[in-house]
A and B are shown apart, each in its own frame.
Chain A
Amino acid sequence: MSATDTAAARTNSSPLRIALGGLGLAGLGALGALVALEDIAAPYEAGMMRTGEALAPPLAPHAFGTDLLGRDIWSETVHGLAVTMADAVGALPIALAAGTFAGFLAAHMLRYSGPLLRAAANALIAVPALFLAVLFAALLGHQNAVVAAGLAVAPAAFARSYDRAHSLLASPHADFARATGLDRWSLFRRDLIFELRESIVAVAARALAAVVILLSTLSFFGFGAAPPARDLGLMIAAARGALPEAWWTAGFPLLALALFILAARLAAGLSEGERA
């Protein structure tokens, strides 16, 4: 049994983990609701300048302060969170399809080319996912950073899913199914339905955490979101110059980003410190 399986087993069995998973889902729901009510929650439009004094500290009427251009940090954080969340939701199906589903399919259906694909995934996993994301973003264009982040997460998800499917195929239930004449396609379908029912939320939440980290880092590096659609990574990058005098310009967007990632991690049942 792999460490991932052990973690998954622990996730399913521990009441604390179940509670934390629920907390993570509730957190994602709360952030989703905030983003859905973006126009009400944020008193100023995205990018609106001179809403107050430049670099005003976090005090009323600007509870999160203002940045160098007098933009309200609370409003900008809500808008930035909306962009980050929309991009992450866009990247998620790519990561799941090219990673999780493809890995499961390859292990079940591709007897000869499956191991080659697994070896290719292994070569890609040896490179930091951030490098892959930068590479894909450069090849596909910055406007496709969402696709780049999804594809960069895919090799690790492919490998995990392939290994999981492989262990299932070597288990007694698969032997029994084959002995009773069940064909590969039917076994694949049944295993997939079982896995979806058991762990799709955890798998999707883990991929979500990974794409959020990559997307925000890509934007921070200048390979992702471009103004006027500023996501949290770009907001933090833009605030770097003012950081020594005005911590709040980057601090609150960073806190929002960390909360988003934390909620996804908890929903995925990742133990503390475990990589998304």
Chain B
Amino acid sequence: MMGDAPPQGLGRYALARTALLGANLAGAAIFAAALAALAVPAAQASLIDFLAAAIEKIPAAVLLDFGTSRISGLPAMEAAAPALQATFELFAIGAIVGTLLGVPLGLALAAAPTRRIAAPIVQLAGSVPLFGAALAAGMALAYLLPIAGPAADTMSVRAAFASADPSALAATLAAVAAPALTIGLAGAGAVGLALRNAVERAGAEPYRRGLRRLGIPKGQIFGLYVARRALALLLRDAGDIVLALFTAAAVAEWVSGWPGAGAEFVQAVALKDWPVAGAIVLVFAAVRFAADFIGALAFRLLGGEDEPA
């Protein structure tokens, strides 16, 4: 909590967070190497053989070499790259929608009267599994938009824009609408919740009352102090928001048939294509850890002093 420990210098703090990032990435690389080792025939014999194969795979995994895909015969990272690109496109759309909807939602939920009214609805909505939300989004869009089945070469939003072919672009946008909406809603929920908690925590801090006693208007206190502190706390939760978006991406891709990394991971595991599964796991974990790292530094730069979670 704020003020429990003496504040650490920014340089030392950044160094400590860099070390933590390195340790986390090493942990993720070991996990991904263990997954890739499942593809080694000798690793099936016993636990000792599996551990030996996993240890042997670690140096290569650090260099993003997980072996070749059992399905495509390509190097695993190369095989996973198109799916990862598709997911990051979805992720970007989801992040934009999430921010546009989530920020007003979080601010509205932080206000006491709105929160009381919205609490049961948010609680119920939070109890619907993601695949239910994805199905509902798909159904809603099917009624609202004439969704056409996309051609195989239009599964990249960027490529569809670059092609300048209106029909390919329309088909791709129609295909991406349902998963993007699902991820956007999940993102809005994650951002909104994090922001609501942040505003609530920032607003409850004792300095606020002191500033009020000094005669500073509420709006000014919010603009100058609370908003900054809330933004810091929101950025501190960046890793959790990224994780929520990845989970939503996996479910939305599976439901809507979007060929992203989440659906690719499920397929790779089902077909025992362990090198590809390992590559996807490492990329997802690395992005999450990077978000944690950047969020923690931003939190500190904005004046946060407590140890980021």
List chain A positions with a Cβ less than 8 A from chain B.
1-3, 119-120, 122-124, 126-131, 134-135, 138-139, 213, 216-217, 220-223, 233, 236, 240, 243-244, 247, 250, 254, 257-259, 261-262, 265-266, 272-275
Binds A, one of B127-135, B173-181, B208-216: B127-135
Which B268-298 residues have C-beta < 8 A from chain A?
A: 269-270, 272, 277, 281, 284-285, 288-289
Query: What CA separation (Å) do A126 and B23 show in the bound complex?
Result: 13
Question: Could you list 11 A-B pairs, sorted by A, with CB under 8 Å?
Answer: A126-B289, A135-B277, A222-B270, A236-B131, A254-B129, A258-B128, A261-B127, A265-B126, A265-B127, A272-B120, A273-B126
A244 closest partner in B (C-beta): B142
User: Which residue of A has the minimal Cβ distance to B306?
Assistant: A1
What CA separation (Å) do A123 and B270 show in the bound complex? 22
Q: A2-B309, A273-B193 are in contact. Are A123 and B250 (CB under 8 A)?
A: no
Q: How far is the CB of A147 from chain B (nearest CB, A)?
A: 16
A265 in contact with B123 given A123-B30, A128-B247, A217-B251 (CB within 8 Å): yes
Give the number of residues in B that approach A within 8 Å (Cβ atoms).
51
Is the pair B130, A127 in contact by a Cβ cutoff of 8 Å? no
Question: What chain A residues lie within 8 Å of B243 (beta carbons)?
Answer: 126, 128
Q: Which of A1, A127, A240 contacts B284 (CB 8 A)?
A: A127
Given A236-B132, A272-B119, verify A135-B247 contact (CB < 8 Å). Answer: no
CB of A134 within 8 A of CB of B266, answer: yes
In the assembled complex, which residues on chain A have CB atoms less than 8 Å from the CB atom of B288? 126
Q: How far is the CA of A265 from the CA of B28 in the complex (A)?
A: 30
B129 touches A257 (CB 8 A): yes
Specify which chain B residues have a CB less than 8 angstroms from the CB of A120 in the assembled complex. 27
A258 B131 Cβ-Cβ under 8 A: no
Provide the main secondary structure of the chain B interface: helix
B269 touches A135 (CB 8 A): yes
Specify the chain B residue showing the minimal Cβ separation from A239.
B135
The A interface is mostly helix, strand or loop, or mixed, namely helix
* Residues of chain A within 8 A of B135, CB atoms compared: 236, 240, 243, 250, 254
B24 with A272: CB separation less than 8 A: no
Given A123-B285, A130-B251, A272-B123, are A254 and B132 neighbors across the interface (CB < 8 Å)?
yes
Given A213-B129, A243-B139, A250-B135, check contact A128 B250 (CB 8 Å): yes
Tell me if B66 is interfacial: C-beta within 8 Å of chain A: no
* Distance of A106 Cα from B193 Cα, bound (Å): 31
